[in-house]
C-alpha cells in the first residue's frame, strides 16, 4: 500500500512544483516593467556610454543614432533647441571643435519608458557643464528625446 501511495504522491508533488515555478515566472514577467527599471537603470547608462564613445570616435551617424527622430537638442548653454535634422548639420563642426567628451556623475531617474539624466560633461574644453538629458524607451531601446544645459 505504501508504494501505491508514493506512486500517486510523487507525480502530484512534481506537478505542484512545476506549477509554482511557471506561475512565479509569469508573475516576474508581468511585474518586470515596474520593478526592474527602478532597480537597474543600466540600459539608460548604456545609451549614455554609446553617446560618449561615438562622439570620441568622431562617429557622426553612430552619435545621431542615440537621438530619437523627434529629439530637441540645445547647442551650448542658453542656445536654441534644434531638431535632430538641424543638429545633424552642425555636429561635425562641434565634434571638430571639442574632440573629447567625458560624461561624469550621472544622476538617473527612470520610469517604465522615460528617464531623466543629469550628467556633467567636459565636452566644452576644460569647462564642466551640467546637462539634462531626457530619454524615451521605444522597442527596448533608449533614445535621447531632449538634451539641454541645466
Task: Say what the pLDDT of residue 17 is.
Answer: 93
Q: What pTM did the predictor assign?
A: 0.67
Domain chopping of the chain, boundaries = 1-38, 40-149
Task: Say what the pLDDT of residue 74 is.
Answer: 92
Using DSSP, state whether 135 is helix, strand or coil. Answer: strand
40-149 CATH: 3.10.450.50
Task: Say what the pLDDT of residue 134 is.
Answer: 92
Task: Say what the pLDDT of residue 85 is.
Answer: 95
Whole-number Å distance between alpha carbons of 64 and 56: 13
Tens digit of pLDDT at every position of the chain (150 positions): 577 777 778 888 899 999 999 988 887 777 655 544 444 456 666 777 888 888 888 899 999 999 999 999 998 788 889 999 999 999 999 888 888 888 888 788 888 888 888 888 876 556 677 889 999 998 888 899 999 987
| The 3-state secondary structure of 26-61, one letter per residue | HHHHHHHHHHHHHHCCHHHHHHHHHHHHHHHCCCHH
Which cell is 22 given?
511557471
Amino acid at each position: 500500500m505504501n508504494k501505491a501511495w508514493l506512486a500517486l504522491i510523487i507525480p502530484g508533488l512534481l506537478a505542484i512544483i512545476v506549477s509554482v515555478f511557471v506561475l512565479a515566472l509569469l508573475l516576474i514577467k508581468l511585474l518586470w516593467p515596474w520593478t526592474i527599471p527602478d532597480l537597474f537603470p543600466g540600459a539608460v547608462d548604456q545609451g549614455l556610454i554609446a553617446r560618449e564613445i561615438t562622439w570620441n570616435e568622431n562617429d557622426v551617424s553612430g552619435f545621431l543614432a542615440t537621438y530619437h527622430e523627434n529629439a530637441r537638442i540645445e547647442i551650448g548653454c542658453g542656445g536654441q533647441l534644434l531638431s535632430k535634422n538641424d543638429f545633424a548639420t552642425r555636429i561635425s563642426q562641434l565634434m571638430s571643435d571639442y574632440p573629447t567628451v567625458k560624461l561624469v556623475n550621472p544622476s538617473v531617474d527612470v520610469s517604465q519608458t522615460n528617464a531623466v539624466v543629469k550628467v556633467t560633461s567636459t565636452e566644452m574644453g576644460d569647462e564642466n557643464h551640467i546637462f539634462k538629458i531626457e530619454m524615451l524607451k521605444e522597442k527596448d531601446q533608449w533614445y535621447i528625446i531632449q538634451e539641454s544645459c541645466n
